[in-house]
Amino acid sequence: MMKVVLVGNGAREHAVAAELAKDAELYAIMSKKNPAIAHLSKEYWICNIENPDAVAAVLKGKQFDLGFASPDATLAAGISDVLEAHGMNVASPSKAASRIEWDKSFLRNLAEKYHIAGAPIHKVTGDPDEAASYITDLGEVAVKPLGLTGGKGVKVSGDHFASPEQAVEYAKSLIKKDGSVLIEEKLIGEEFTLQAFCDGSNIALMPPVQDHKRAYPDDKGPNTGGMGSYSTGILLPFLKDSDIEQANKIIRDTAHAVKKEGSLFRGILYGQFIVTKKGIKLIEFNARFGDPEAMNVMSLLEDSLSNIFISMADGRLKKAKFSDDTTVVKYLVPEGYPENPQKDKPVNIDNAALEKTGAKVYYAAVYETGNRIYTTSSRSFGMAGRARTLEEAEQIAEKACSCITGPLWHRSDIGTRKLIQSKIERMKSIRD
């Protein structure tokens, strides 16, 4: 049996671990013990997974056939390179290739150099006066740090800035902190995620997913890591075939551009796109599965993930087969999340009731002490429903949420017909 080592410990990694453990012997290296991943693993170790020396020390004297590192900061720290240096096949991108995520200016420069479609009007600058002038000229903008922010560093006119002056102040604060800032035109439309397996030259698409980053119902409130998501087969309700074709080309062209720059991107290439009046625009690329989007697509995978990973690592990518069922994921999060989450609170899991719902449950930022599960300050559980219809999948996820009790809450509107119909109508008005 293939021996696979997984580096990471969130709900996204739990979704990956659950698939790998079906036909491989799983081992895990985690920063904190995820009880569900630990249960799936033959053996696990706890260390700083953003420290190459710490991970190398764990690996010393052990042999594995395949390695996969997942969280963004872990990839940015070069942990995939550590796995490769240990002599195994690696299905996650190197530090150089994952720069596409941890350096936003690299992606924009890459798109410009290789004429990759979909880039918004933008400027990277370290000059406060130039930033102020550019924001004034554009009017409505998105202001972004260049590095990793966990999905929470981007601020947009109308949502976070009531005036250009506020945008200028934020841009100046990022220049002071980081040395430079990315300023882009504000894009109006509906966002979606399109993830692909990539072996450096070829890609295999996964079903598109729409994530909900806003904390509160009707997509209100501050940004989070993601409150839930849904998928509806090969398209989302507001998408056209041509939208997927455009996004597919952008992903493919980007993989080729990274190759021309001297790095092979082998791993999960995750494009965050937005459908606008002027077509598909690329918001950003990530170098790993989305969270919660990994839960949607892994729930639908009908092939062996370990075999796909091996083919990806070998540069001979196999096509991946997915069901065309619908999925809905709802995140249970601590009371007070995201501003003032209640942490270190016990929760109760009714596993018998959960099994009756048919939902899959993915453990996120929780920990176990004395056979009890406790919350941390981040998201707690991803509850995934799968069915032929959206209504059924949403109800499965919703019922599953009631099976875990404690100081937790979730967005009950995710996956509902009302919320999705609002997306369809909004997109129709934008296209028209």
pTM: 0.94
Higher-pLDDT residue of 63 and 183 is 63
Across 110-119, 120-129, 166-175, the highest mean pLDDT is recorded for 110-119
β-bridge pairing 122-125 and 141-144: unpaired
**Residue 323: how many other CB atoms lie within 10 Å:** 14
Average pLDDT in the 297-313 region? 97
Domains of the chain: 3-94 (3.40.50.20), 121-185 (3.30.1490.20), 190-419 (3.30.470.20)
Average pLDDT in the 166-170 region? 88
The pLDDT tens digits for 26-47 are: 999 999 999 999 999 999 999 9
What are 301's two structure tokens? Answer: 């995978």
What percentage of residues in the chain have a pLDDT greater than 70? 99
The pLDDT tens digits for 250-270 are: 999 999 999 999 999 999 999
Across the chain, what does the average pLDDT equal? 94
Cα-to-chain-centroid distance, residue 227 = 12
Distance separating alpha carbons of residues 98 and 106, to the nearest angstrom = 10
Work out the pLDDT band at 131, boundaries 50, 70, 90.
confident
Q: What is the predicted pLDDT for the residue at 207?
A: 98
- Tell which residue, 415, 351, 359, 423, has the closest CA to residue 389: 415
What are 380's two structure tokens? Answer: 């707690």
**Residue 14: how many other CB atoms lie within 10 Å:** 29
The pLDDT tens digits for 361-397 are: 999 999 999 889 999 999 999 999 999 999 999 999 9
β-bridge pairing 155-156 and 141-144: antiparallel
The pLDDT tens digits for 176-192 are: 888 888 888 889 999 99
163 φ/ψ sector (left φ>0, alpha ψ -120 to 50, else beta)? beta
Distance separating alpha carbons of residues 34 and 18, to the nearest angstrom = 13
Q: What is the predicted pLDDT for the residue at 274?
A: 96
- Tell which residue, 356, 365, 368, 342, has the closest CA to residue 403: 356
Distance separating alpha carbons of residues 32 and 377, to the nearest angstrom = 14
Omega of the bond prior to 338 within 30 degrees of 0, cis?
yes
**Residue 85: how many other CB atoms lie within 10 Å:** 13
- Tell which residue, 276, 283, 281, 280, has the closest CA to residue 427: 276
Residue 148, pLDDT above cutoff 80: no
Average pLDDT in the 260-289 region? 95
Residue type at position 125: T
Work out the pLDDT band at 151, boundaries 50, 70, 90.
low
Average pLDDT in the 156-181 region? 85
The angle at the Cα of 355, spanning 350 to 357, to the nearest 5 degrees, equals 100
Distance separating alpha carbons of residues 202 and 179, to the nearest angstrom = 36
Work out the pLDDT band at 123, boundaries 50, 70, 90.
confident
The pLDDT tens digits for 75-108 are: 999 999 999 999 999 999 999 999 999 888 899 8
Q: What is the predicted pLDDT for the residue at 145?
A: 87
Q: Return the beta strands (E) in 214-344 as ranges.
A: 214-216, 220-223, 228-232, 266-276, 279-286, 326-334
**Residue 7: how many other CB atoms lie within 10 Å:** 29
Residue type at position 164: P
Q: Are 311 and 365 in contact (CB under 8 A)?
A: no
Residue 149, pLDDT above cutoff 80: no
Distance separating alpha carbons of residues 219 and 213, to the nearest angstrom = 8
What are 65's two structure tokens? Answer: 């056939």
Alpha helices in 358-416, H assignment, sequence order:
390-401
Q: What is the 3-state secondary structure (H, E, C) of 244-282?
A: HHHHHHHHHHHHHHHHHCCCCCEEEEEEEEEEECCEEEE
Q: What is the predicted pLDDT for the residue at 152?
A: 66
